[in-house]
Amino acid sequence: MKYYLIAGERSGDLHGSNLMKGIRVHDAEAEFRAWGGDLMQAQGATLVKHYTQMAFMGFWEVVKNLWTIRDFLKECKADLLAYQPDALVLIDYPGFNLRIAEFAKKRGITVFYYISPKVWAWNQKRALKIRANIDRMFVIFPFEVYFYEKYDYKVVYVGNPLMDAIDAFGPDPDFAQKNQLSGKRIIALLPGSRRQEVVSTLDTMLSIRAEFPDHTFVIAGVNSLPADLYQPYQHIPNVSVVFEATYDLLSIAEAALVTSGTATLETALFGVPEVVCYRTSAVSYGIAKRLIRVPYISLVNLIMEKEAVRELIQDNFSAEALATELRAILPNGSKRASMEQDYRELKQRVGEAGASVRAGSAIVNYLTGNE
């Protein structure tokens, strides 16, 4: 069968690539066409558009790029109709994907959604649009099942796909030596996969390095961003940059400073104490503050239903606050033991690996009438 996948972010590319593997377990002849990234392409998808062209962060940034987004929507609709897939599989990225879902549903295309938009965080009535346009929603957090029940919509909980990626990871035994990190105490910096995220957080993260002279600050770089974005940091004492090696970095880190997003949960599942950092434009933050309906921005805290990890947001994301919180989570710090205990409970709540295979099975069974 033919599948058309749309992922607009780096994490969506990861989960989309694993979902493709899960689908192939039950449909060996599966063909894929996608808006995604290198990982989906490596799994055999014909790539229409790379997510780096589509990753606009924040309300103001989206408004500035409305014409570009409109053109992408037009291009995607035309390509979808030309391909005529057996199923459209949408992965998070709601601003774009919910519009495509409505378009596809009206034209008789079966629509699946893997990884629910965070409608429980803001504009909750979008759940009604999802119920109207999505044939099956596969969610990755248990609380999402109960959220959608309020809107008389039955969704399928498949577990969290991050566990698939982490379960498949094998650390490189030579990673530290190859990057001249052997014997060093590492603080990992995960500033994000969008240019806006890196620009808004990395300088502040590094501004406290003089207060931690016994540690090396290691930046998790991504190849999807321009190399010159990281160039100014590559010759600073006690600062290193590694590319496309976030899991290897987390496997040797004592603590981490992490931009809000999927990486906050990945860091916790690796057992690395962290401080969550977030800063965006004043306009975007002002709008978000009025719309957001959940008490936390990190997935760790949302799943734990409490502040298990400290969130430094906007004006609170200062060098002074960052240094204080980092000291508290380093070995012998006042918050480290309690955070590690919360991480153990978090892993139990997230569950075991296998989400991609379970979702792939459900998709194929639905299409073949075997559900």
At residue 55, the pLDDT reads 61
60 — pLDDT class (breaks 50, 70, 90): very low
CA distance 155 to 135: 10
Q: Decide if 32 contacts 44 (C-beta within 8 A).
A: yes
Q: What is the mean pLDDT of residues 265-288?
A: 81
In a domain, 36, yes or no: yes
Which residue range(s) make up the domain with 117?
Answer: 2-161+354-368
- Show the beta-strand stretches assigned E in 158-214: 185-190
Average pLDDT along the chain: 90
Let me know whether 216 and 339 are in one domain. yes
What is the helix (H) or strand (E) element at residue 354, kind and residue range? none
In a domain, 7, yes or no: yes
Let me know whether 190 and 289 are in one domain. yes
In a domain, 166, yes or no: no
Query: Does residue 122 have a pLDDT over 80?
Result: no
In a domain, 149, yes or no: yes
- Proportion of the chain above pLDDT 70, given as a percent: 92
In a domain, 12, yes or no: yes
Helix/strand/coil for 296: coil
Query: Does residue 338 have a pLDDT over 90?
Result: yes
Let me know whether 201 and 259 are in one domain. yes
At residue 354, the pLDDT reads 94
Task: Tell me which long-range contacts 39-44 makes (C-beta under 8 A, separation of at least 24).
Answer: 39/13, 39/14, 40/5, 40/7, 40/13, 40/16, 42/17, 43/17, 44/20
pLDDT in tens, 292-308: 555 787 889 989 989 99
Let me know whether 152 and 97 are in one domain. yes
Query: Does residue 94 have a pLDDT over 80?
Result: yes
Q: What is the mean pLDDT of residues 188-204?
A: 92
Locus of tokens 């008490």: 295
Let me know whether 345 and 212 are in one domain. yes
Locus of tokens 């977030």: 278
Query: Does residue 277 have a pLDDT over 60?
Result: yes
Lowest-pLDDT range of 29-33, 104-108, 232-236, 329-333: 232-236
Of 114, 111, 164, nearest to 139 by C-alpha is 114
What does the CA dihedral 246, 252, 258, 261 come to, rounded to 10 degrees?
A: 50
| Contacts of 159 by beta carbon, 8 Å cutoff, 6+ apart | 140, 350, 351, 352, 353, 354, 355, 358
Let me know whether 21 and 132 are in one domain. yes
In a domain, 126, yes or no: yes
289 — pLDDT class (breaks 50, 70, 90): low
At residue 63, the pLDDT reads 53
124 — pLDDT class (breaks 50, 70, 90): confident
Q: How far is CA 220 from the centre of its chain?
A: 15
Query: Does residue 59 have a pLDDT over 60?
Result: no
290 — pLDDT class (breaks 50, 70, 90): low
Let me know whether 51 and 17 are in one domain. yes
Let me know whether 244 and 264 are in one domain. yes
In a domain, 50, yes or no: yes
Query: Does residue 30 have a pLDDT over 60?
Result: yes
* Residue with more model confidence, 287 or 168: 168
Q: How far is CA 225 from the centre of its chain?
A: 16
At residue 282, the pLDDT reads 58
Let me know whether 157 and 284 are in one domain. no
280 — pLDDT class (breaks 50, 70, 90): confident
| Contacts of 347 by beta carbon, 8 Å cutoff, 6+ apart | 269
283 — pLDDT class (breaks 50, 70, 90): low
pLDDT in tens, 160-169: 999 988 988 9
Let me know whether 304 and 253 are in one domain. yes
Which of the 8 DSSP states describes residue 135? S
Let me know whether 155 and 207 are in one domain. no
CA distance 27 to 63: 40
Query: Does residue 348 have a pLDDT over 70?
Result: yes
What does the CA dihedral 233, 238, 242, 245 come to, rounded to 10 degrees?
A: -140
CATH of the domain at 303: 3.40.50.2000
Let me know whether 263 and 339 are in one domain. yes
Counting the structural domains of the chain, the total is: 2
Query: Does residue 36 have a pLDDT over 80?
Result: yes
At residue 125, the pLDDT reads 79
Query: Does residue 90 have a pLDDT over 90?
Result: yes
In a domain, 220, yes or no: yes
Query: Does residue 345 have a pLDDT over 90?
Result: yes
